[in-house]
Structure formats: C-alpha cells, structure tokens
Structure 1
Amino acid sequence: MASNKEIAKQVIEAVGGEENIQSIAHCATRLRVMVHDREKVDVETLEEIEKVKGAFYNSGQYQIIFGTGTVNQIYQAVTEQGVEGSSKSEMKEEAAKQGTAFQRAIRTFGDVFVPIIPVLVATGLFMGLRGLLLQEAFLEFFGLTPDTVPENIVLFTQVLTDTAFIFLPALVAWSTFRVFGGTPVIGLVLGLMLVSPSLPNAWAVAEGSESPIYFLDFIPIVGYQGSVLPAFFAGLVGAKLEKWCRKRIPDALDLILTPFIVLLVMIALSLFVLGPILHIAEDGIFQTMLFLLELPFGLSGLLIGLFHQVIVITGVHHIFNFLEIQLFENLGYNPFNPVITGAIAAQGGAALAVAVKTSSNKVKAIAFPSSISAFLGITEPAIFGVNLRYMKPFIMGLIGGGVSGFLASIFNLQATGLAITVIPGSLLYLNEQIFGYLLVNIVAIAIAFVLTYMFGFNDKMLEKK
C-alpha cells in the first residue's frame, strides 16, 4: 500500500506537475485543484491512483474524491511537497471567474442558499414529526383526538414549524450580503424589514383577509413572508451599495452613515420597485414549475426523475434549492422531493451492482462506499467515481430514476420538507405516505441494480477503460 507521500507525488504528477498547479484546497471529501492548463492533466492516471475514488472537472476546479479523513491527510502530504495551498474562500474567488455566465450565476445562487438549507431541513423534520404526532391513530394511544390536544402543545409545534419560513427573507438577505461582501447584520435587518408586522401580511393578503397598501394608487405594498427573489436581489443590490458607500464616506462617519443610507435606500427600493416586480417573476416561476409537476399520467415524475442526475453532472442543480423552497412555501408541501429521491437512490443501486459484480478489489473499494453515500442522498461519489466512468451503469441509474419518479407522481407523494432524500428523506414522510415512499426508493434501487448487473457492467469494461 502506497504511503500518503507517494500518493501526493502521483497526484501532483498527474495534474501536470507543481508548475501547472494554480492553487489547491480541500473540502470534506475532495481535493480541489485549480490548474493553469487543463490539457496537461492526465485524468485516467489520476483516477487509477490508490485511494482516489473519482476525479472530475467542475466549477473551475479538478475535484479529486478521496473521502472523509483521507482527503485531509493527502492535502497535508501535497502541501509538504512544496505546493502552496489556498483557503476555500480564495479558491472560490478564483473559481468564480471561470465558467459561463449562467454557471457562475447558479454557483452564486448555491453559495447563498446552501447555508440556509440546514434550518429548512430541520423545519421539514419538525413538520413531519408534527404530522405524525397529531395523527388520529397515534393520538388514540393516549386517549386523545386532534380536537383535545392542548392548545399550548399546538402552539409550541407551530413555533418549530413556522418560524424559519416566516423569516425566510431575513435569512436570504443575510446570506446574500455575506456572499457579495456586505455586512451580514445589515442584510439581516433589511430582510426583517421585509416581513415587518407593520406591513400587510403576505399570506393574509393572499387569503383575502387583508388588503395591500397602495403607493401612488397603483404600487401594492405588502410583506414578503416566504418570498425569496425580493430578498435575494435586495441583498445583492444592498451589498453593492454598502461597498460603494464605504469607499466614499469618511471613516469617522462610516459607522453611522453607511448602515443608515443602505437601509433607507434599500427598504424603499425593495418595497416600491424590486418587491412588486420580483414578486410577479417569482409567481411566474412557481406557476411554470407547478405546470411541469402537474403533467398528467405521471409524465412529470418520469421526465424529472430521468434527467435530474444529468443536471447534477452539469453542476447547476443548486437552482433546485430555490424551486423547492418556493414550492414548499406556496403549497405547504413539496412535490419535487419525492420525484427526485428515486433518481438519487437509483445511482446508488447501479454503483452497488458494479461493486457486487466486479472482481476488481479496487473497484469494489470505491463502489461499495459510493453506493452507501448515494443511499444517504449524496450521489457525486457514485456518479463520478463509478457509474459515469463506465457510462452504462449511469444510464441504468437514469432509467431507475425515471420509473421511480413516475411512481412518485402516480402516488401523488408530498414531502413535509426539503433537501434530504432516500434514507434520511424518509423522515419527511412519517405519515400515511411512508410505505409509498419506501416503495419508490426500493423500485429505483432494484431496477438500477438489475439492469446494471445484467446489461450495464462487466469486467471487460475495466480493460477498455
């Protein structure tokens, strides 16, 4: 078995030598290398290095999958060879300059929403548990009915399930300010202003129990509870305005004037211009997504399940975070999650078939843990480390995803949250849907496994590769 030092030398050589490395960093599982000349990188040699579970180019970087723990050791060994490391923030700045304008925009969208996702996941789990605890069958064990549950208990569950979405604009504005170089607390206050109780509540206006305030008799002014785009663009413009102010306002006055100007200008701009326009755009995106999800005969699930993992390869799948948030906020449930969970599970099933069928210990060592990772909702190791290498397993996984998405649409599954899938995702279906959800995932894994085992992989592919 090669030492980490030897592996580090092989990695440096495979990416074109030390002189071709622009910068290097690592995350939880991957070594991220930016190079001067992509043509000098020998990807095939890179993938054959011991402990490497896959390598691919994305977001302006070569991402070499080593796995948790191992990647820290390899990174240290590489830097000990004289290669200068970069922080992830520095690498982000470098990577942000690469790729198409669309890819850069989606990356930025991802940078804004990824830090928010954990609290939205927790909120979804709270909703799932609340649905379970307040079911009639469950309450009967305690001699209760939904009408006899103490009001204080119901109120406590509402605090857990409603808070994150009531103040979602504050979270989005805070994160957007952070990403675009503004002061996050100014973004937080700006976002809170958008949901101020002094404004007509957006949900009450939608229900007809309140009316908007009209400015100049034609601009509707409402709160933006649950909205995303108005808060995002308010944060983007606000962060730019703050940086502009800080360059021009004397240091002695900066502490007082900059927050004052930014908040005054941005709340006026948000309520009178950005909010009304972007609310219409947001509603248009929502209606378009709803149209796709409501296609008849399970067609929506078939198409989304079939192509979801193809979009993951392109690296622009972060846009789905925004779409899921918008769907969940408007509908009170998430119809997108159940049609993609099978697509994720299926890639794990395909990788598992490769692991079982191959006689190569190296491939087994990559494929088994990669399949487990997919069953926990993370498909990149399975896709880039196994399935996409031999192509056919990836295609069989797509077929499994399409069939499972079709079933999810036919069953009309509705998640109580977002952002977690497959095994962890079962927590979003702790009600009468749980058996349908489990069936969708089992079908996805079974189809992908059987097709890959029978038609999608054999050891001759190792030689051809």
Structure 2
Amino acid sequence: MSDNKEIAKQVIAAVGGKENINSVTHCATRLRIMVSDESKIDKNKVEDIEKVKGTFYNSGQFQIIFGTGTVNKIYEEVVGLGASEGSASQVKEESKKQGNAFQRMIRTFGDVFVPIIPVLVATGLFMGLRGLLTQEQVLAVFGMVPTDISPNFLLYTQVLTDTAFAFLPALIAWSSFKVFGGSPIIGIVLGLMLVNPALPNAYAVAGGTADPITMFGFIPVVGYQGTVLPAFIAGFVGAKLERWIRKRVPESLDLLLTPFMTLLVMSILSLFIIGPVFHSLEEVVLNGTIWVLGLPFGLAGLVIGTLNQIIVVTGIHHLFNFLEIQLLANTGVNPFNGIITASIAAQGGASLAVAMKTKSKKLKALAYPSTLSAFLGITEPAVFGVNLRYFKPFVFGLVGGGVGGFFGDLVGLEATGMAVTVIPGTLLYLNDQIFLYILTNIIAIGVAFVLTYLFGFSDKMKEEIEARKDV
C-alpha cells in the first residue's frame, strides 16, 4: 500500500506538475486544485492512483475525491511537497473567473450557506430526539405518559430545537459578510436586528396573535425569524457598503464611523425595503414549492427523486437547502428530506450492485466503501467514483430514486429536520413514520440494485468503457 506522501507525488505529477497548480485546498471529501491548463491533467492516471475514489472538473476546479479523513492527510502531503497552498477564499476568487454567471451565483450561495450547515444538522437531530421523547409509544415503554415529562425539561429541549432557526438571519448575515469581504461581527449585529424582540415575531404574525408594525403609513414591518433571502441580500449589500465606506473614511475615524454608518444605512434598508420585498418573494417560492409537493399520486416524489442526483452532479443542489430551511421554518416539517433520501440511497444501491458483481479487486475496494458513504448520506464517491464512470448504474440509480421518492411522497413522509439522510436520517423520523421511512429506502435501494445487477453492469462492459477512455 502506498503511503500518503507517495500518493501526493503521483497526484502532483498527474495534474501536470507543481508549475500547473495555482492553488490547492480541500473540503470534507475532495481535494480541490486550481490548475493553469486543464489539458495537462491526465485524468485516467489520477483515477488509477490508490485511494482515489473519483475525479471531475467543475467550476474551474479539478476535484479529486478521497473521502472523509483521507483528504486531509493527502492535502497536507501535497502542500508539503511544494504545491501552492490556498485558502478556500483564494480558490473561490480564482474560480470566480470561470463558469457562467448562473454557476458563479450558485457557487456563491453555497459559499454562504455551507458554514451554517453543521448547526442546522445538529438542530435537525435535536428535533428528531425531541420528537422521540414526546412520543406516547416510546414513553409507554418506560411506563410514562406525556404529562410525566417536566415542563422545564421540555422548555430546555425547545431551546435546542428553536434557537438556530429563530436566529437564522444572524447566521446568514454573518456568513454573507464574511464571503463578500465585510466584517462578520457587523453582519451578526445586522442579522440580529432583523429578529430583535422589539419587532412583532414573524411566527406570531403568521399565527394571527400579533400584527405587523406599519411604518410611514404603508410599510409593514415584522421580525424575520427563519427567513433566508432578506438576510442574504442584506449581508451582500452590507458588506459592499462597508467596504465602500471604509475606503472613504480617514483611518483615524474608521473604527467609529464605518460600523456606525454601515449599521445605520443597512438597518433602514433591511427593515423597510429589503426585508418586506424579499420576504414576500420567499413566500411566493415557498407557496410554489408546497404546491409542487402537493401534486397528487406521488408525482412530486417521482420527479424530484429522479432528478435530484443529476442536480447534485451539476453542483447547484444548494438550492434545496434554501427550500428545506423555508419549509421547516414556516411549516415545521420537511417533505423534501424523504424524497431526496430515496435518491441518495438508490445511488448506494447501484454502487452495491457493481461491487457485488465485479471480479475486479480494485473496483470492489472502491465500490463497497462508496456504497457505505452513500448510505451515510454522502453520494460523491458512489456517483463520481463508480456509477457515472459506467453510466448505466447512475441511470438505474436515478430510476431507483424516482421510484423510492414516489413511494415516500405517496405515503406522506415528513422529516422533523434537514441535512441528514438514509441511515443517519432515521433520527428525523423517530415517530410513527419510521417504518415507512425504512421501507422508502429499501424500495429505492432495491430497485437500483436489481436493475444495475441485471442490466447495468458487467466486467465486459467495464473493460469496453475503460478501453475507450484509453484511446
């Protein structure tokens, strides 16, 4: 087995040498390399390197999938061998020059949103556990009824489940300021202004127990708890405004005037213009999404379950995060999760079929861990490392996702959170839905597995495809 340093040497050589590397960084699973000349990359050579689970070129970056943990070690060795180390922001700046306007927009949205994901994952798990603790069937096992639970304990669990969404604008404004070059602390304060307790609570207004404040006789103003777009736009505009002011204020007055003027102007814009306008737009998007999800006979699940992993491949799947957050913040449930889970599980089922059918030890060593990764909710290794490489497994994975999504939508699966799927996702269904959730996953995996095993892969097909790549 090659050590990580040897693997790093092979990676550098296969991408055209150190002179072809502008900068290198990594995310949770992928080594991300900005190169000067894409034509110098020997993709087949990279994919033959030990521990490499797949590669693809997207938005100006050559990305090599190593998997969680491994990628950190390979990254350290690559940098240690003299490759130019780049911060994530530097790589983003270089990648901004590549890709069309829509790709750049989606990439920027992802840059803002990704740092917030961990707390939303934790909140989703808290929601699942709280749902478990308050289920009569579960309490009955311990000889308890709901009234036996201490009100103070329930209050504590509410703190765990509500905080992230109540102060979501502060998180988004903080991240937006950071991405767009402003001071994150100003972003936090601006975001907190949007949910200040002095404003009518958005949930109370929606529930009819509070009324908006009317400013200037015609502008309705409420708190923006759980909203996304107002905070995102406010963060973008605020960061640009802060930088504009800072360039024009004398250094001796910068500490005093820049944050004062930024917060003053942005509080007016955010509460009286950006907030009302984009909150209304979010309502339109949310209502449209709910309408799609309300299509009869499981049609929404069929369409979304089939197309989801295609969207993941294009890299614009961060849009789903926006929709899931809005659904949770406004309706308390997330019907997207069960559908998307089916699409993820199905890719794992297709990868498992490849692993079990092939006689290639190297492909087995790649496909089995990739399958496990998909069943834990991360499909990149399975999709890019196995299924897309041989194409038919990917297509049958889409079919499995569509069938599983159709069933999940038909039976009305609704998650209590977001961002975890398949096996970890069971924590979002620890109520009377758990059986249907498991059955949805089994259907998706089963359809993809059977179709791939029977019609989607053979070692002969593998050899023919790899031979064409070598031409």
TM-score (norm 2): 0.95
Q: 2:469 maps to what in 1?
A: none
1:435 aligns with 2:435: yes
Q: 2:210 maps to what in 1?
A: 210
Cα–Cα, structure 1 residues 190 and 14, in superposed 2: closer, same or farther, change >3 Å? same
Does the 8 Å CA contact 2:212/2:222 hold for their aligned counterparts?
Answer: yes
Write out aligned runs for 1:294-333 (5 A): 294-333=294-333
Name whichever of 358-367 and 422-431 sits farther off.
358-367
1:129 aligns with 2:129: yes
Write out aligned runs for 1:23-422 (5 A): 23-79=23-79, 81-422=81-422
The code of the aligned residue for 2:16 comes to: G
The code of the aligned residue for 1:90 comes to: Q
Name whichever of 195-204 and 69-78 sits farther off.
69-78
Distance 1:337 1:128 in 2: 13
Shift of 1:73: 4.4
Distance 1:67 1:131 in 2: 32
Q: 1:455 maps to what in 2?
A: 455
The code of the aligned residue for 2:387 comes to: N
Distance 1:192 1:71 in 2: 36
Q: Cα RMSD over matched residues?
A: 1.7
The code of the aligned residue for 1:372 comes to: L
Aligned residue for 1:336, secondary structure, equals helix
Aligned residue for 2:416, secondary structure, equals coil
Cα–Cα, structure 1 residues 147 and 361, in superposed 2: closer, same or farther, change >3 Å? same
Shift of 1:119: 1.4
Q: Give CA deviations for 1:134-156 in whole Å, capped at 9, x if unaligned.
A: 12223334554334533222222
Does the 8 Å CA contact 2:349/2:397 hold for their aligned counterparts?
Answer: yes
Does the 8 Å CA contact 2:65/2:380 hold for their aligned counterparts?
Answer: no
Shift of 1:79: 4.1
Cα–Cα, structure 1 residues 335 and 383, in superposed 2: closer, same or farther, change >3 Å? same
Q: Give CA deviations for 1:173-206 in whole Å, capped at 9, x if unaligned.
A: 1111111111111111111111111111111111
Shift of 1:72: 4.1
Name whichever of 166-175 and 31-40 sits farther off.
31-40
Name whichever of 307-316 and 191-200 sits farther off.
191-200
Q: Give CA deviations for 1:18-47 in whole Å, capped at 9, x if unaligned.
A: 333222233343222211222232222321
Shift of 1:394: 0.4
Distance 1:73 1:141 in 2: 46
Distance 2:452 2:263 in 1: 57
Count of residues paired in the alignment: 465
Shift of 1:304: 0.2
Q: Give CA deviations for 1:400-421 in whole Å, capped at 9, x if unaligned.
A: 1000000101110110000100
Distance 2:185 2:25 in 1: 29
Q: Give CA deviations for 1:73-107 in whole Å, capped at 9, x if unaligned.
A: 44444445543332333212212322111111111
Cα–Cα, structure 1 residues 269 and 457, in superposed 2: closer, same or farther, change >3 Å? same
Shift of 1:227: 1.1
Shift of 1:351: 0.8
Shift of 1:2: 4.5
Cα–Cα, structure 1 residues 170 and 83, in superposed 2: closer, same or farther, change >3 Å? closer
Shift of 1:48: 2.0
Q: Give CA deviations for 1:271-311 in whole Å, capped at 9, x if unaligned.
A: 11111110111111111111111111000000000000000
The code of the aligned residue for 1:138 comes to: V
The code of the aligned residue for 1:405 comes to: G
Aligned residue for 1:64, secondary structure, equals strand
Shift of 1:69: 4.3
Q: 1:446 maps to what in 2?
A: 446
Distance 1:357 1:367 in 2: 11
Does the 8 Å CA contact 2:34/2:61 hold for their aligned counterparts?
Answer: yes
Distance 2:134 2:8 in 1: 55
Distance 1:149 1:26 in 2: 45
Distance 1:155 1:8 in 2: 51
Cα–Cα, structure 1 residues 137 and 80, in superposed 2: closer, same or farther, change >3 Å? closer
Shift of 1:326: 0.3
Cα–Cα, structure 1 residues 303 and 126, in superposed 2: closer, same or farther, change >3 Å? same
Distance 1:259 1:6 in 2: 50
Distance 1:143 1:66 in 2: 48
The code of the aligned residue for 1:367 comes to: A
Cα–Cα, structure 1 residues 270 and 28, in superposed 2: closer, same or farther, change >3 Å? closer
Distance 1:157 1:10 in 2: 50
Identity %: 67
The code of the aligned residue for 1:400 comes to: G
Structure 1 unaligned runs (5+)? Answer: none
TM-score (norm 1): 0.96
The code of the aligned residue for 1:169 comes to: P
The code of the aligned residue for 1:211 comes to: D
Distance 2:124 2:208 in 1: 27
